Structure 1
Amino acid sequence: MSSARFVLLPLCSTLLLRAALGAFPFYHVCSTSGNFTANGLYESNLNKLTSFLYAKTPSLGFGLGSIGQYPDQVYGLALCRGDQSASDCKACVADAGAEIRRRCPRNKGAVMWFDECMFKYLDTDFFGQIDNANRFSFYNINNVSDPEAFNSKVRGLLTGLVEEAYTVPKLYATGEMGLEDKMKLYGLVQCTRDLSATECKECLEGAIGKLPSCCDGKEGGRVLGGSCNIRYEIYTFVNV
């Protein structure tokens, strides 16, 4: 297995992460759209929405909902990685729902990514819209010996997975491809299920388009966003 160290590239900053992620969030963004008043109606609605997503998401791996009326209405969703069991999904959504409130305590919107799930809420209706504003990438620090050939295989695998994912209800697909020396390349693509099939494909293709600038010739890489995510590695990283 390759090194556990990765470089994270959110916007223009660079951070180092380790692969022993557990319940540790990859990254989070607190919205600048405004703050809510402590113990007010918006916070009450957000608490109800968090509980609703915690209850709804595990059975299908995706939850979507809105609570309240303008100007205190809150919209949110939770998405678990497509291979997660209901119990693992529930645990991740619980962690994300609690951690996002600690890190963005009064923000009217926020999004947080864990390895196994994503949690997002906002004070405006974002359902069915591709979120390109909240997107970041990171890569394994190890380089491959033949970047051009490897990059081509990565793009080929992920592009094929996109063609599968946007045609199925879960908007999710994984696959593998043989490499030299009996090694394999593994890939994953996934969209939030508020997107249409066409929007999912557009989002995933946009994420793949970011790979040359973030992950050129790297053994592993990932692009995460508020609406879709892609990942590739030279080791298995999903449950089978």
Structure 2
Amino acid sequence: MVVTQTCFGFFLLLSWGTIVTKAKTQIFMGSNCQNTSQEPLSIAYQANLDKILAWMSSDAATSKGYNHTSIGINTPVYGQYDCRGDVAENFCQFCVSFASREAPKRCPNRVSAIVWYEYCMLRYSNESFFGKILTHPTWHALGTKNVSNMEEVRRGEGFVKSMISKATQESNHLYYLGSFNFSSTQKRFGMVHCGRDLSNEACRQCLEALFEQTHKCCEQNIGWSIWSGTCMIRYDDQMFYRLSNQTSSLPPSNDETGESKDYKFVIILFFICIVL
């Protein structure tokens, strides 16, 4: 059975002056438990699942924010984790470790699962999904402020399109972030990111598929996020990412540049989900 899930959400962004998410918990963004059987997993599959969850948790401590593998022959489990492109290694490892513990709880007795947190995504299945685009189900989160006119919408669209183009260039590792001066007193910030098992072309297709959905769900809001199992887009009037060596997607005169800043946000999500 093909499960199509649409989730509508609202989020509040609260400034957080210190890094507290690292210490205790991760901000849950959504999950998809892909099969519907309530039967217990076989002993062999459960053993391999436990192994791959443990592997992802430990591997994230030494990787560059992404990896995937499979364990088992007759009852294989395929697993992958992917951290947001601006996230430091210690944040990545903590998020993946947390997700590896929580995924089986959110999807009990499921052979396939995807869980999204603010800084990382973790996925496992009994079938190989590496390199494949997944644009359903999708989740959205919407800000509380609305745009004032269509010119604001058009400028936001152009900005997101430019980031998609930049992210899918060979040197940018399927992720890009940037900002631009919306007015003399306001900025707009954005990020696009794809699972790093995708090709550049697959990443572009995934991001463009999500972008098309924003015309119906999101573009009338100043702040919004949309994401699927393999890519995400976020756009806001508040800075939500950490700057490192990544350059912005617009000319230097309009970019947000400089040292890494400790801006953190708590995202409170309220979802209404329809499963077809």
Equivalences, count: 229
In the alignment, is residue 152 of structure 1 matched against residue 179 of structure 2? Answer: no
Check 1:199–1:118 CA distance in 2 against 1; reply closer, same or farther (3 A cut).
same
Classify the secondary structure of the residue corresponding to 1:60: coil
Check 1:155–1:26 CA distance in 2 against 1; reply closer, same or farther (3 A cut).
same
In the alignment, is residue 61 of structure 1 matched against residue 65 of structure 2? Answer: yes
C-alpha distance after superposition, 1:86-109 (max 9, x if no partner) = 111011001111111111121001
The 5-angstrom pairing of residues 1-240 of structure 1 reads: 11-19=5-13, 23-32=26-35, 34=37, 37-38=40-41, 40-58=43-61, 59-70=63-74, 72-146=75-149, 148-167=150-169, 168=171, 170-240=173-243
Check 1:203–1:237 CA distance in 2 against 1; reply closer, same or farther (3 A cut).
same
Higher relative CO (Cα under 8 Å, sequence separation at least 6) belongs to 2
Runs in 1 of length 4+ with deviation above 2 angstroms? 10-22, 33-39, 55-59
2:50 counterpart letter in structure 1 = N
2:106 counterpart letter in structure 1 = R
Q: TM-score, normalised by structure 1?
A: 0.88
Check 1:170–1:12 CA distance in 2 against 1; reply closer, same or farther (3 A cut).
closer
- Indicate conservation of the 8 Å contact 1:165/1:171, yes or no: yes
- Unpaired runs of 5+ in structure 2? 15-20, 244-276
Instruction: Return the offset for 1:170.
Output: 2.2
Classify the secondary structure of the residue corresponding to 2:86: coil
Check 1:175–1:190 CA distance in 2 against 1; reply closer, same or farther (3 A cut).
same
- Indicate conservation of the 8 Å contact 2:100/2:122, yes or no: yes
Give aligned-pair identity as a percent. 28
1:177 counterpart letter in structure 2 = F
In 2, Cα distance between equivalents of 1:41 and 1:13: 34
- Indicate conservation of the 8 Å contact 1:190/1:228, yes or no: yes
In 2, Cα distance between equivalents of 1:93 and 1:102: 15
2:227 counterpart letter in structure 1 = L
Instruction: Return the offset for 1:24.
Output: 2.7
Q: TM-score, normalised by structure 2?
A: 0.77
Check 1:16–1:152 CA distance in 2 against 1; reply closer, same or farther (3 A cut).
closer
2:153 counterpart letter in structure 1 = N
C-alpha distance after superposition, 1:6-25 (max 9, x if no partner) = xxxx9445455544686131
Instruction: Return the offset for 1:117.
Output: 0.6
- Indicate conservation of the 8 Å contact 2:7/2:140, yes or no: no
RMSD over aligned Cα atoms: 2.0
Check 1:18–1:97 CA distance in 2 against 1; reply closer, same or farther (3 A cut).
farther
Classify the secondary structure of the residue corresponding to 1:88: helix
1:79 counterpart letter in structure 2 = D
